[in-house]
Amino acid sequence: MATSPSRGGPAGNAALAALVLAVLSYSLVQTMLVPTVGVLQRDLHTSPAAASWAVLSSTLLTSAVLTPLISRLGDRHGKRRVLVVTLTVHLAGTLGAAFAWDVASLIVLRAVQGVSLALLPLALGLIRDVMPPHRVAGALGLTSGLVAGAAGAGLLVGGLLVDHASWRWLFAAGALLVAAALAAVLRWVPEGPTAPSGSLDVPGGALLGGALVAVLLGLTQGPAWGWASPAVLGLFAGCAVLSALFLAWERRVPHPLVDPALLLGPAIRTVHLGAFLLGAVQFVFYVLIPKLAETPSGPGVLGGYGFGASVTVAGLILAPGTLCGLPASALAGRVEGRFGARAPLALGLTVSAAGGALLALEHHAVWHLVLGYAVIGTGFGFAMAALPRMVHQVSGPDTGATANGVNTVARTVGGAVGSQLAAAILASRTVPHTAVPAAHGYTVSFWTAAGVAAAGTLLLLTGRRSGGSGLPTRTVPGRTRRADGVPARSEP
């Protein structure tokens, strides 16, 4: 087992390939399952709500809660070591899900797979350890850009397997990918530096986890329970209270789970808000474009606007956009070098807004969807590549995984908001006397997503620009240290 980073050359390239494979083992497995909601409902004899929990909700909850904790453990005890453990748990959950005997067991095993979201911040944190400094920014952009690209590829692969084989093969194929990633990490990725040891902030983890569970459960169950129901309003209120308690606690504890400067510091809060808005925009299109493509069409069909596409064809519609995002990710560094650190994210949101506007104006033929998402996917490529580069600039080497973990959770919560926003708009605009979404519901949804992306651009262009690391010196009882955990020199 390697104990020191090997930067550059063949060893660095092999380590980067292993980390990219680890990230793909998360992103592909997640999106491959999206087409299975209806299939699981039929094969496991369950309700649409339970099938949705098996595919999305259970994983969403556990991933949001565990990602900050796992990321912090990586910074403190070794990112490679924690990455190996996380991949092992992910592999166990994926293999178990292939043999799930009912929907309850599948929900539990999918919750176990929620650890996989932490693979992204751990991999991003390790990149700065295993790559030479002049290649770090490009490697970060490539790795994060592949997450957006894998979304379309995962839907396509998932559609092929669902249309031509059992849903269990999705987990079997995913387990092979996770096993390959685990073997590659063990073989090629060295251990990086660790932060000074300190006790794990269990109370902080409980408060943060409670706040995230409250908001995500409220978003997930809002359509079923009613947005104005006491249960949903209570969950949102509980999230606000727990968040305030979490911030108060983190400002006092000597070894916080997430330093407030990594959450709300002037140099990083805009990055997290940008991630939140990007996640919301992404999931509006991830949900609506396949739904529109798969809507039945023909004489006597309510609505009369769908294309009756199979799950595979719906995935193919997203494929050009997926491919367009990859070169955009590679170009993000040039945009940053010419126009500044915020430029790639602002450009990505602007291009995504333009693509959303195109879809809002024209979505009456399949080629409209292909062209519109090609533009949107290009924007996603720029934006996804920008986020880890911006986090890298404002976080220290001992807090890279933690800062990227917070940013990843921000995008995940934004995705939950975006998917529910799209569903709420469609539910509020239906064919008279039916529950079938009306055609103009898609128009409003696409305009809404375009507006959210444009608002993100304005935020980046007008927001405060902060220099330095964004990690100011702060005082805690008994000692003074920087916000990244590195002791600061005390003044006499």
Q: Is 480 helix (H, G, I), strand (E, B) or coil?
A: strand
For residue 444, pLDDT over 70 is answered with yes
* HSE, side-chain direction, 13 A CA sphere, residue 406: 28
**pLDDT grade, residue 152 (50/70/90)?**
low
384, with CB counted inside 10 A (0-12, 13-18, 19+), is: buried
Question: What residues contact 489, with CB distance under 8 A and at least 6 apart?
Answer: none
- Phi/psi at 379 (nearest 5 deg)? -60, -40
Side chain identity, residue 318? L
Helix or strand (DSSP H, E) at 64: helix 58-77
Across the range 250-264, mean pLDDT stands at 81
CA 313 centroid distance within chain: 24
Whole-angstrom distance, CA of residue 116 vs CA of residue 67: 8
For residue 137, pLDDT over 50 is answered with yes
For residue 4, pLDDT over 50 is answered with no
461, with CB counted inside 10 A (0-12, 13-18, 19+), is: exposed
Among candidate residues 8, 119, 10, the one with its CA nearest the CA of residue 63: 119
The reported pLDDT for the residue numbered 481 is 42
Whole-angstrom distance, CA of residue 157 vs CA of residue 174: 11
For residue 2, pLDDT over 50 is answered with no
Structure tokens given for 95: 């293999």
**pLDDT grade, residue 186 (50/70/90)?**
very high
For residue 467, pLDDT over 50 is answered with no
Whole-angstrom distance, CA of residue 82 vs CA of residue 29: 20
What is the rounded radius of gyration, in angstroms, for the C-alpha atoms of the chain?
Answer: 22
**pLDDT grade, residue 451 (50/70/90)?**
very high
Contact indicator for 312, 296 with CB cutoff of 8 Å:
no
Contact indicator for 411, 276 with CB cutoff of 8 Å:
yes
Across the range 451-466, mean pLDDT stands at 81
Q: Give the number of residues written for the chain.
A: 492
pLDDT tens sequence across 223-232? 778 888 999 8
The reported pLDDT for the residue numbered 179 is 95
For residue 363, pLDDT over 60 is answered with yes
- Which range is least confidently modeled, 20-29, 159-168, 339-348, 436-445? 159-168
Instruction: Supply the angle between the helices 269-294 and 366-394 in degrees, to the nearest 10.
Output: 160
The reported pLDDT for the residue numbered 491 is 32
Listing DSSP states for 457-478 in one string gives HHHHHHSPP--S-S--EEEETT
The reported pLDDT for the residue numbered 56 is 77
404, with CB counted inside 10 A (0-12, 13-18, 19+), is: buried
DSSP state of 233: H
Q: What is the dihedral of CA 246, 213, 116, 201, to 10 degrees?
A: 20
**pLDDT grade, residue 3 (50/70/90)?**
very low
CA 198 centroid distance within chain: 29
The reported pLDDT for the residue numbered 338 is 87
Across the range 175-204, mean pLDDT stands at 82
Comparison of pLDDT for 354 and 75, the residue scoring more: 354
**pLDDT grade, residue 197 (50/70/90)?**
low
**pLDDT grade, residue 8 (50/70/90)?**
low
Across the range 239-265, mean pLDDT stands at 85
Structure tokens given for 487: 């002791």
DSSP state of 56: I
Q: How far apart are the first and last CA of the chain?
A: 44
Structure tokens given for 142: 């490539």
Comparison of pLDDT for 193 and 467, the residue scoring more: 193
Q: How does the average pLDDT of the chain come out, rounded?
A: 81
Whole-angstrom distance, CA of residue 76 vs CA of residue 37: 38
Whole-angstrom distance, CA of residue 29 vs CA of residue 10: 28
Whole-angstrom distance, CA of residue 399 vs CA of residue 392: 9
Contact indicator for 124, 388 with CB cutoff of 8 Å:
yes
Whole-angstrom distance, CA of residue 409 vs CA of residue 88: 21
Q: Is 464 helix (H, G, I), strand (E, B) or coil?
A: coil
For residue 353, pLDDT over 90 is answered with yes
Task: Give the residues across from 430 on adjacent strands.
Answer: 437
298, with CB counted inside 10 A (0-12, 13-18, 19+), is: exposed
Helix or strand (DSSP H, E) at 330: helix 311-339
- Which range is least confidently modeled, 159-168, 248-257, 336-345, 406-415? 159-168
Across the range 232-254, mean pLDDT stands at 90
Name the maximum alpha-carbon separation found in the chain: 84
The reported pLDDT for the residue numbered 62 is 87
Question: What residues contact 136, with CB distance under 8 A and at least 6 apart?
Answer: 127, 128, 392
For residue 163, pLDDT over 90 is answered with no
The reported pLDDT for the residue numbered 49 is 74
**pLDDT grade, residue 83 (50/70/90)?**
very high
Angle among Cα 26, 138, 87 to the nearest 5 degrees reads 20
